[in-house]
Amino acid sequence: MVRNGRACVGRVVIVLGAAIAVSFAGCQPEAEKPERTNVPLPADPCEGLRSASFRSLSDQDLGMGPNGPVQGRWMIEFREGTVSFQISDARETATFTCTGGAIRARAGDREYVGQYEAATGRLLFNGVEYQAVK
């Protein structure tokens, strides 16, 4: 509550649905609100996907090696309207669209989805989390 330009902490006692007492504990001067600045809004997060590469944060299945299953990091690359990514031991290339960081990719009759967070450089694509590679 604000009273005479001061922020106040109050207590209301309610008995059987009716307020019967109100008391205020120490009123403090109201904090000044920061002035609004003309800070430009961040660019569309999708802009960060242009010619970008990402590596999975955890090991994924790379297929079968001579001694059995092989694990390693997957890579994903965005280039000129296409995205190339790994699914186990296969590589897939798809066209993609991005709106507000939400990604939809299509390769034939298969569709993939993802979300890109420009502030952290993290990408969640087809259920796997990736980090941008410089």
The reported pLDDT for the residue numbered 23 is 45
- Phi, psi for residue 49 in degrees, rounded to 5: -90, -10
DSSP state of 87: E
More reliable by pLDDT, 27 or 86: 86
The string of DSSP letters for 7-47 reads EEEEEEEEETTEEEEEEEEEEEEPPPPPPP--PPPPPPGGG
Express each pLDDT in 74-83 by its tens digit: 999 999 899 9
Can you tell me whether residue 127 is helix, strand or coil?
coil
Express each pLDDT in 93-120 by its tens digit: 999 999 999 999 999 999 999 999 998 9
